[in-house]
Structure 1
C-alpha cells in the first residue's frame, strides 16, 4: 500500500491546514511541517501518483494545477523577493500524490 498523505489526511479533512488558494480541482495550503520559512504545497484534489504518472486525460487538470502554482509562486515572489518551485519523484517523493512545493527563505 502506498502512502498518500494528501488523500488520506489533507483532502479527507483529518489534518488541519491553512488554505492559500483553492479552485474546484486544486488546493494550495501552508505545509503542515514546513521545511522553509515559507512553505506552501499545491495539490490536485484528484489522486495522481506523480508528475511522471499523469495520464493524457488529466492534461487539463495538470494545466490548472500549474496555473495555481504560477499564481501562488508569483504572490510569494512578490512578497518575499524570491521563491523555488519543487516537485520530487521516485524515492525522493514521500507521499505518492502529485504535489508541488512553493518555498522561500531559509531551510528550517
Structure 2
C-alpha cells in the first residue's frame, strides 16, 4: 500500500508498464485507476508535477491544454460507451495525491 503524497510522480508515471494505459504522450498519461471507485474509472494526469487544478500557471499552459484535450476525448468515449460520464478533480484535503489528476468515470460506485 502506497503511503506517500504523490502517487503519480512516485509510482504511476515511472511504472506505466504496470498500468492499463488509455493514452500516453510526452506530457500526459491516462490510465484505468489502479483502485477504481466506480465501475469504469480512468485517471488523466500531467507527466510533470503540477500540484492541483488551482496551482496551474501560465508556464503550464501547453501541458494543461493537452491534459484537458485528453480528458475531453476520454469523457466522450466513456459517455458513448456507457451512456454517461462524470469528470472530477479534487482540491485541498479532498485531494489524496498532491498531483493534478482528473477522474473520468461512469457506472455505480464500487464497494470500498
TM normalised by structure 2 equals 0.91
For 1:57-96, what aligned pairs fall within 5 Å after superposition?
57-96=59-98
Per-residue displacement from partner, 1:19-60 (whole Å, max 9, x unpaired)? 011222101000000000000000000100000111211011
Bigger helix fraction = 2
Match of 2:58 in 1: 56
Match of 2:18 in 1: 16
Aligned residue-pair number: 107
Distance 1:75 1:14, change over 3 A: closer
Q: Which runs of 5+ in 1 are unaligned?
A: none
**Structure 1 residue 15: deviation in Å?**
7.8
Larger mean CA deviation between 31-40 and 12-21 belongs to 12-21
Match of 1:39 in 2: 41
Structure 1: how far apart are the matches of 2:30 and 2:17? 14
**Structure 1 residue 85: deviation in Å?**
0.3
Please state whether the residue corresponding to 1:33 is helix, strand or coil.
Answer: coil
Structure 2: how far apart are the matches of 1:22 and 1:66? 14
Match of 1:104 in 2: 106
CA RMSD of aligned residues (A): 1.3
Please state whether the residue corresponding to 1:38 is helix, strand or coil.
Answer: strand
TM normalised by structure 1 equals 0.95
Q: Which runs of 5+ in 2 are unaligned?
A: none
